[in-house]
Structure 1
Amino acid sequence: MPGPVSSKARVYADANTVKSKEYWDYEAHVPSWSNQDDYQLVRKLGRGKYSEVFEAININSNDRVVVKILKVRIFWGISIREIKILENLRGGTNIIRLVDTVKDPVVNLAVIVYAAVFYRMLSIDILRMALMHRIVRHLIDVSIHSDGLLHPYYALGLGKKSNAIFMQISSVKPLLMYDYSLDMWSLGCMLASMIFQKEPFFHGQDNYDQLVRIAKVLGTEELFSYLNKYHIELDTRFKDLLGQQTRKRWENFVQPENQHLVSPEALDLLDKLLRYDHQQRLTAQEAMEHPYFCEPTTIQRFGVISISNKCCSISNNLFIKNHGFHKILRKKGINTCNNNQN
């Protein structure tokens, strides 16, 4: 089989060509490092593949912050890239604020300090039901893609000055090629987790099992069509692992405990995001224009009495008004006003 077929992003393929090298060349970036003694760890919040996350306090200002500490020195480049991206995006909508960068002088590891974002949990059902549309809309930031950025790992990743982005992940060779459509797949996974209340939606034990879990939902017929289209050859170990899987209907995942979160529009949006073929997935702009974000049938269940022609207003949600949640949401920076441009 010949080598993989080149694929150019449908949108913003050359976004970084108009930027200076300083904007996208994270390998040459040298952050400004502060003193690690300024921060005292309070408690562990979580961990990821490359780092551990803690709540901390700045002992000078008494401000609460969140710090991300890399686990292994070999992931240094990942931290530098994330720092560079957050510096580029500083002040942007829905972007967590980069507070500081610290380097551990003993083991020479990067520590990234973020502004603390601890939302008061009103009720998981309230957030999932009344605010799900707003949350998902905030996950789709067209401006980030238009700036030549995408989210490869657990955070935003930096697009280089080319039509596609090549990234060596751990020891995987050859270099992998991806574009903004990767973000839309991630959005689809998050949307599926939200509406079906299954987190994570595709829960593989390793890279091999992950593809098997996906194939058990999306089927193998479309997977092999995708592989043939782009001349992609799978590891021989997948031959026995994948077998022959039939594509499942999204309705199969609707249960009594999650049916209040599901609508035809939600399933249609999900179906157009979770596609094997990255060229067939919705772009961020196309997703924002999807009927899911203005579906009167579903929103009326939550007491909305006024819906604009572009979006569904949180300000008119009687459930939120009657319980005073709009005040809390405003304090947390969530706009509850009717805005036809949201």
Structure 2
Amino acid sequence: MNYVQLEKLGEGTYATVYKGRSRTTNEIVALKEIHLDAEEGTPSTAIREISLMKELKHVNIVRLHDVIHTETKLVLIFEYCEQDLKKYMDQHGERGALDPNTVRSFMYQLLKGTAFCHENQVLHRDLKPQNLLINRKGELKLGDFGLARAFGVPVNTFSNEVVTLWYRAPDVLLGSRTYSTSIDVWSCGCIFAEMISGLPLFRGRDNNDQLLHIMRIIGTPSQQTFDKMAKDSPEIQIKQFPRYPKQDLRQAVPKASPHAIDLLERLLKFDPAERISAAEALSHPYFTSAASNNTFTVGSMAPPAFTFPHPHGLPPPQQQQQAFSRPPNFIANPVAVHQLHAAQQQQQAQAAMGGGYGGVPMHYNTSFGHNPR
């Protein structure tokens, strides 16, 4: 194999993830070694993940470099990212809450990656902070496509056993199996609120409790809305719910700006047909207004670039380019924002990163046992 294993990053029942290095380019990578069953062979979820990720090439999606397949093992070679978003929030946030500039940067990149998936007819189906990777340049990338599915028109019937509970859309919680891109949009809204406040917005214990948490904040839908959703997805099971009035989202996410609140409300519509698309969200005033753009500068100058120490040299120049489009003055490196806003935290941040590779990325999906459609 043209890769050297450096250290184990995580292990599950069906796969083990190692940090590795390319013998030819010296590039640091993540090696995801999938355990093959002698009788069952390669898990179908692994085949699905490989087939999708070989087609999804975008700066905001973790890159699958290579696949090595032998009689005894299957190894997926991914680009290496230092942290997932959850660890980043824990280490750099104020009680988990990120500063407005960083939230806007990460949210823009999350929506770019999600919109690209949807343009290519792919549902991620498991967006959450633990599955979003952050590299040393402050780029956010969608990872863990183990539950992802391609979709077509008409929409196929899918499993409703998808998406981690706290980020699961209400239509899926109600039993929908004919969902589409809107389930990823709902997850983006949940992640958006969590980056602003530092806490998950809806923290239910099970499907029913999760629905109640959602209704307590965005209100119980009208019977007309329920009936419409059931018509759109006949498998949805409607029952009697308490009548909760709609809460002002500013009470649930008090640190959010007016533009952020408006975008949140558009992402978190109970009826999936009413949710804004990821592509539409990128044109929201939260990103495009003059007020939003001005917050990307500190004084009259943009923050300088900040890079994590890299013991194996910098990546090739083409990898250092910012390949995604952004509003004017958009800062692609939120770590630089932290350096200016809290210079005293710089040494702590570097130490927390362990020289740039301290985060243990459990986001490469080591569990292939569950196989939803």
Question: Normalized against structure 2, the TM-score is what?
Answer: 0.59
Change (3 A) 1:41 1:226: farther
Change (3 A) 1:337 1:96: closer
- 1:168-187 map, 5 Å: 168=159, 176-187=177-188
For CA contacts below 8 A with separation 6 or more, give which structure has more relative contact order: 2
Q: Distance in 2 between matches of 1:87 and 1:296?
A: 38
The CA deviation string for residues 97-119 of structure 1, in whole angstroms up to 9 with x for no partner, is: 1023356856x7x5533110126
Do residues 280 (structure 1) and 243 (structure 2) align? no
- 1:135-174 map, 5 Å: 135-141=106-112, 142-154=115-127, 155-156=144-145, 157-168=148-159
| Structure 1 match to 2:265 | 271
CA contact under 8 A between 1:51 and 1:68: conserved in structure 2?
Answer: no
| SS of the residue 1:178 aligns to | coil
| Structure 2 match to 1:243 | 242
CA contact under 8 A between 1:181 and 1:278: conserved in structure 2?
Answer: yes
How big is the alpha-carbon RMSD for the aligned residues of Structure 1 and Structure 2?
4.2
| Structure 2 match to 1:227 | 226
Change (3 A) 1:175 1:275: closer
- 1:18-97 map, 5 Å: 40=5, 42-44=7-9, 54-58=17-21, 60=23, 63-68=27-32, 76-90=43-57, 92-97=58-63
Q: Distance in 2 between matches of 1:335 and 1:84?
A: 23
| SS of the residue 1:81 aligns to | helix
- 1:184-263 map, 5 Å: 184-198=185-199, 200-222=200-222, 224-231=223-230, 232=234, 239=240, 242-255=241-254, 259=255, 262-263=256-257
The CA deviation string for residues 9-59 of structure 1, in whole angstroms up to 9 with x for no partner, is: xxxxxxxxxxxxxxxxxxxxxxxxxx6x95636233587xx9767342247
CA contact under 8 A between 1:219 and 1:244: conserved in structure 2?
Answer: yes
Do residues 129 (structure 1) and 94 (structure 2) align? no
Read off the aligned partner of 1:205 and give its amino acid letter: R
Deviation at 1:297, TM superposition (A): 4.0
Change (3 A) 1:57 1:274: same
The CA deviation string for residues 292-330 of structure 1, in whole angstroms up to 9 with x for no partner, is: 003444665664567xxxxxxxxx43xx2xxx3x24399
| Structure 2 match to 1:28 | none
Read off the aligned partner of 1:211 and give its amino acid letter: L
Q: Distance in 2 between matches of 1:244 and 1:104?
A: 57
Q: Distance in 2 between matches of 1:162 and 1:205?
A: 34
| Structure 2 match to 1:27 | none
Q: Distance in 2 between matches of 1:208 and 1:71?
A: 35
CA contact under 8 A between 2:59 and 2:324: conserved in structure 1?
Answer: no
CA contact under 8 A between 1:263 and 1:298: conserved in structure 2?
Answer: no
Q: Distance in 1 between matches of 2:282 and 2:307?
A: 26
| Structure 1 match to 2:307 | 328
Q: Distance in 2 between matches of 1:103 and 1:43?
A: 20
| SS of the residue 1:166 aligns to | coil
Read off the aligned partner of 1:282 and give its amino acid letter: I
CA contact under 8 A between 2:98 and 2:195: conserved in structure 1?
Answer: no
Read off the aligned partner of 1:190 and give its amino acid letter: I
Q: Distance in 2 between matches of 1:288 and 1:304?
A: 23
Do residues 112 (structure 1) and 112 (structure 2) align? no
Deviation at 1:202, TM superposition (A): 2.1
Identical-residue share of aligned pairs (%):
24
Unaligned runs of 5+ in 2: 128-143, 163-171, 309-316, 331-373
Q: Distance in 2 between matches of 1:80 and 1:104?
A: 14
Deviation at 1:128, TM superposition (A): 3.7
Unaligned runs of 5+ in 1: 1-34, 307-315
Q: Distance in 2 between matches of 1:164 and 1:136?
A: 27
| SS of the residue 1:65 aligns to | strand
Q: Distance in 2 between matches of 1:270 and 1:221?
A: 17
Deviation at 1:203, TM superposition (A): 2.4
| SS of the residue 1:272 aligns to | helix
- 1:8-23 map, 5 Å: none
| SS of the residue 1:140 aligns to | helix
